[in-house]
Amino acid sequence: MNHPEVKTIVFDWGNTLMQVFPEYEGPMVTWQRVAEVDGAHAALEILARSYRLVVATNAAQSSAEQVRAALNRVGLGEFIDSIYTVHELGARKPAPEFHGSLALRLGENPSGLVLVGDEFGNDVMGSYVAGWRSIWLNPDGKSAPALLPVQDGEITSLKELPQVLDGGWLPRYSECLAWLIGQKAGMNLLTHVQMVAAVAYALAAGKAGATGSEEIPALSPWQVALRSRAAWSARDREICCKCTPDFALEFAQPAPARATLSETSSTR
């Protein structure tokens, strides 16, 4: 694995490791039907060889013991070192207290933790604010709110998770902006970078499919953000104008605001 600083992977539970069936009520362990999320067993079996695996959930109807019993029903419990619910942590994602209490219990610095979850607000934004890494399980290919992909990785299936963790982390959004500001970038360049990064993400998320344009490059937001101040030349401005179609303006924001934190939760 290429992330020696990451020692522990924290998983959300509902719709990340186990499927939530809305027709059932009460603790999941009592449900007539339970099922793992596709690819969960294969991914955990691989990752357990290199990482400590933990479950941390907003579930309020299940105790930690009941969560483990449910995981055991689908053969996942053997891979999980420890389990934490709102009852143990005294807070819910995305509150910083949730992440802070969990990091303290695990004896880890934020840099040594990565959270895998399916809810952008609770899992991704909550981790970003707390200084954790995050990987967004996004099977439907949804776009990040405000076209601001603050997740450190994104997967459509848990089968992809080991491979993503084998790769290197890209610079974080805040790190890119800090670098540009350190290069004495002016407001025009900062605005340009954020707009083009949003456009690039919109294209990668498939929002440009209806235009049929073949002239728009598939830019990485981080490649754009890491351009130096010296690169802001007349030629760049000309390219920017050519590569930023009118349709993108409805997606791009000159100063992307922090995504509204989702209050939805897994209550099983």
Residue with tokens 């992307």: 256
Edge to edge, the sheet with strand 133-137 lists: 82-84, 52-56, 8-11, 113-117, 133-137, 153-155
pLDDT confidence of residue 268: 63
Q: How far apart are CA 33 and CA 228, in angstroms?
A: 55
Contacts of 253 (CB under 8 A, 6+ apart): 146, 147, 194, 195, 198
Residues 167/169/173/178 CA torsion (nearest 10 deg): -140
pLDDT confidence of residue 200: 77
User: Which domains are seen in the chain, by residue range?
Assistant: 8-166 (3.40.50.1000), 173-250 (no CATH)
Q: CB of 185 within 8 A of CB of 175? A: no
- The answer to whether the bond into 139 is cis (omega within 30° of 0) is no
pLDDT confidence of residue 265: 43
pLDDT confidence of residue 3: 62
Residue type, 139: P
Q: How far apart are CA 196 and CA 42, in angstroms?
A: 38
Per-residue DSSP letter, 144: P
Burial of 159 (0-12, 13-18, 19+ CB in 10 A): middle
Q: How far apart are CA 249 and CA 183, in angstroms?
A: 27
Per-residue pLDDT of the chain (268 residues; tens, 9 = 90+): 446 588 999 999 999 999 999 999 999 999 999 999 999 999 999 999 999 999 999 999 999 999 999 999 999 999 999 999 999 999 999 999 999 999 999 999 998 999 999 999 999 999 999 999 999 999 998 888 888 888 999 999 999 999 999 887 878 878 888 888 888 888 888 888 888 888 777 777 764 334 433 333 334 444 444 433 334 344 444 444 444 434 333 333 333 333 333 334 445 6
**Residue 81, SS3?**
coil
Q: Are strands 82-84 and 113-117 parallel, antiparallel or unpaired?
A: unpaired
Kindly report the CA angle at 58 between 169 and 131, in degrees rounded to 5?
30
DSSP conformation letters of 217-258 = ----HHHHHT--GGG--HHHHHHHHHH--GGGGGT--SSPPP
Contacts of 70 (CB under 8 A, 6+ apart): 18, 27, 28, 29, 31, 34, 62
Burial of 207 (0-12, 13-18, 19+ CB in 10 A): middle
**Residue 157, SS3?**
coil
Contacts of 259 (CB under 8 A, 6+ apart): 120, 121, 125, 144, 145, 146, 148, 150
Residue with tokens 């990565």: 114
pLDDT confidence of residue 187: 86
